[in-house]
Structure 1
Amino acid sequence: MKKNTKKAKFLNNLMPNKKIFEIEEGIELLKKMAISKFNESIDASINLGINPKKPDQNIKNSIVLPFGTGKTIKLAVFTTGENINIAKKLGAEYVGLHDLVEQIKEKKIKFDIAIASTDTMKIVNELGPILGPRGLMPNPKLGTVTDNIENAIKNAKYGQINYKNDKNGIVHTTIGKINFPNKDIQENLNALLTSLKKLRPLNLKGEYIKKVTISTTMSLGINIDFNNIT
């Protein structure tokens, strides 16, 4: 507990009195806060002025960040035929169909993203009760149900993020690692916000993006002035 108290005091002492930071100074402050021995992830939380109870106002999308996330992504790829060889060559950790479905049912494997070729979805749908609650069900809107398995795997391995709002209308997602160059972190955040802006619901009145906060795995949240971000 003493260590936690010391760290909390350290982080609080670092935080200036000002409430909102320009993106450049926000990233600099974030790096000062990252004192853990491991390479902390950088997360972005975007508060949206949507009503999550209205289906036509919910936000869900995927993008490939310009500089990736810095995470090692484990893939499960449901496919057949030549696509099996393609998936294995591209480094997918788990590849198959019926055997892969059984492994997941028996909870023998863990992965971060599931990709499925279109012709396998009739079988993959059996996993809905398992993958759905974990946010891992392949989805054509996210590019994870596709006939282009090669492209989907490359995107996922390089730095594709899938994001959606939670029940409070907030989007939470990773935008990099603390050891990324400042410019790369900024451009990843720019890409996320640009993607979000394109999804503004047509019937939404008032402010859409209300607040942008960045933080590391262990740091305090820093509010960013997003008005000057592309």
Structure 2
Amino acid sequence: MAKLTKRMQALQGKVEAGKVYAAIDALNLVKATATAKFDESVDVAIQLGIDPRKSDQAVRGAVVMPEGTGKSVRVAVFTQGANADAAREAGADIVGFDDLAAKVKAGELDFDVVIASPDAMRVVGQLGQILGPRGLMPNPKVGTVTPNVAQAVKNAKAGQVQFRADKAGIIHAPIGRASFEAERLQKNLAALVDQLNKLKPASAKGQYLRKVAVSSTMGLGVRVDIGSINA
């Protein structure tokens, strides 16, 4: 087994193995153990009681974090006409149609989020091999294919986070930065949990939210008492 660094040994001494902490205590602990020389991301892993092999139990969506994510994002919008003007007014960084598709094909990918109006999907659909592997393909399930591109741009700029259950039925998502107060992180975590509850598959049996753990980029995972998240 790899030898732990002094830093990791010190962190392990602060987190009680096997203990489940109240949300606010867990988040304060994550902040206290985020000792890297940069503002670490605070992330959550949520184990869902689903069978991800079944298509009717796939969980995917998006939520606007009420306290933001601490990250600025560049937004590209595929649309035209009045929608293009509305997207620019809402704060989109790049707006286009066939011209934007040509830039993407040429390797110009200077954006973090892609939004498209429904009429643009005939153009965007041709970019699947480029956008798909990068997690940039617009999808109506997360609100990035929509007639209201202006609102989608505002959501992205306000700190919208996209999520989907992986093959193990686990949701991974950022909820802020280590520099955030613990109360702000808890509000974001609660917003994510509320959205997950709304997306619970009708065919999912038993306990839906099974385990929740929070961590920072370079820190240790801390288990969270699910019942304390909305406290």
In the alignment, what sits opposite 2:202? Answer: 202
1:96-107 to 2 correspondence within 5 Å?
Answer: 96-107=96-107
In the alignment, what sits opposite 1:125? Answer: 125
Verify: 1:173 aligned to 2:173, yes or no: yes
d(CA) in 2 for partners of 1:116 and 1:62? 16
Pairwise CA distance, 1:94: 1.9
SS at match of 1:146: coil
d(CA) in 2 for partners of 1:157 and 1:66? 12
d(CA) in 1 for partners of 2:165 and 2:152? 23
In the alignment, what sits opposite 2:45? Answer: 45
d(CA) in 2 for partners of 1:126 and 1:176? 34
In the alignment, what sits opposite 2:64? Answer: 64
d(CA) in 2 for partners of 1:222 and 1:229? 13
SS at match of 2:20: coil
d(CA) in 1 for partners of 2:133 and 2:174? 20
In the alignment, what sits opposite 2:135? Answer: 135
| Higher mean displacement: 95-104 or 39-48 | 95-104
In the alignment, what sits opposite 2:144? Answer: 144
d(CA) in 1 for partners of 2:125 and 2:52? 26
**CA distance change for structure 1 residues 17 and 141 in 2, over 3 Å: closer, same or farther?**
closer
Which letter maps to 1:185? L
Is contact 2:23-2:225 (8 Å) kept?
A: yes
In the alignment, what sits opposite 1:77? Answer: 77
Is contact 2:86-2:150 (8 Å) kept?
A: yes
d(CA) in 1 for partners of 2:103 and 2:208? 42
Pairwise CA distance, 1:24: 1.2
Is contact 2:21-2:222 (8 Å) kept?
A: yes
Verify: 1:221 aligned to 2:221, yes or no: yes
d(CA) in 2 for partners of 1:118 and 1:49? 33
d(CA) in 2 for partners of 1:135 and 1:175? 19
Taking structure 2 as the reference length, the TM-score comes to 0.93
Is contact 2:114-2:138 (8 Å) kept?
A: yes
In the alignment, what sits opposite 1:212? Answer: 212
Runs of 4+ in 1 over 6 A off after TM superposition: none
**Cα shift readout 1:22-45 (whole Å, capped 9, x = no counterpart):** 111111111111111211111111
d(CA) in 1 for partners of 2:174 and 2:77? 22
Identify unmatched segments of 5+ residues in structure 2. none
Pairwise CA distance, 1:215: 0.6
CA RMSD of aligned residues (A): 1.5
**Cα shift readout 1:155-177 (whole Å, capped 9, x = no counterpart):** 00001111110111110011111
Identify unmatched segments of 5+ residues in structure 1. none
d(CA) in 1 for partners of 2:20 and 2:50? 22
Count of residue pairs the alignment pairs up: 227
In the alignment, what sits opposite 1:111? Answer: 111
Pairwise CA distance, 1:79: 1.1
**Cα shift readout 1:42-81 (whole Å, capped 9, x = no counterpart):** 1111011111110000101111111111111111111112
SS at match of 1:133: helix
d(CA) in 2 for partners of 1:18 and 1:199? 29
Pairwise CA distance, 1:133: 2.5
In the alignment, what sits opposite 1:29? Answer: 29
Pairwise CA distance, 1:17: 4.0
